[in-house]
Amino acid sequence: MSKVALITGASSGIGRATAILLSQQGFKVYAGTRDTSKFVTDSDNLQVILLDITDNQSIQAAIHSIYKAHGRIDVLVNNAGYALVSTVEEATEQEMLDQFNVNVFSIFRLCKAVTPVMRENSAGVIINVSSFLGKIGLPLFSFYNSTKYAVEGITDSLRYELSPFNIRVHSIMPGFFSTNFAKDNLVTNSSVNSDSTPYSELVDRLIPNILEQINDGNDANSAAQLVLKIIEDESSPARATVGDKASKFIPMRRELSDEDFERRVREYYNLNG
């Protein structure tokens, strides 16, 4: 029997690469996206479905449709998300709420909706796509960083909560990947590009560096391969890194003191002024 997978944010990047790879491996894949016209496929194993992760009714409709067709959902990949680029001082209330609504609360919504289905079948795998910035802070990314720190906390807690039902929960922590993230998933507060912002020097030093690292980043297929490995290997660790930046910084974060690690990050990203 083919395993059934639901992937959020599947129209581009890691989500799209994962949807294609899993379908090629014989999974019945449901690729969730807010705009189904962005992902056209003729694969019998891959179906693009309308899914708004900020809308409970949309989530429930998607889960019901998949369950009605198969009586199961074996894999959930929580991939959808974006990054707000803003200082804490200049962010609006709505920008803060929107960032957490998409990156954090949507994961709660999807996990809440899919858990009864997985629990009924006494099996399931939930993979949360986090970031190496879920363990590392950067200026101008405080809101994105904090949502990814939250994803790590969700993963840790759900592992305890769902293990009695044979449901595995994992996170992957990608570095920077060469996808459309910089174009489609970086949302910049209006003050960041303003000449009047008191943070202009910081913006000028950091943002071009980050954009270059994203545009020259790793191939999304390596992240998709990691997702497949976690699904297939029941002994997979709670979290795994993928990509050059994640492989560089996460081990360093574990080995160094907070003060030494901060010095390394300041030097690497030219944050010393």
Given the residues 30, 82, 144, 199, select the one marked as catalytic.
144
Residue 219 in 3-state DSSP? coil
Q: Give the Cβ contact number of residue 201 at 10 Å.
A: 10
Q: For 198, which DSSP code?
A: T
Active site residue 144: yes
Q: Phi and psi of 112, rounded to 5°?
A: -60, -40
Q: Is 7 helix (H, G, I), strand (E, B) or coil?
A: strand
Q: How far is CA 75 from CA 6, 28, 62, 117, 232, in A?
A: 6, 10, 14, 11, 11
Instruction: Work out whether strand 124-129 and strand 239-242 pair parallel, antiparallel, or are unpaired.
Output: unpaired
Give the bridge partners for 171, in sequence order: 128, 239
How far does CA 121 lie from the centroid of its chain? 26
- Reduced 3-state DSSP string for 8-68: CCCCCHHHHHHHHHHHHCCCEEEEEECCHHHCCCCCCCEEEEECCCCCHHHHHHHHHHHHH
Catalytic residues: 144
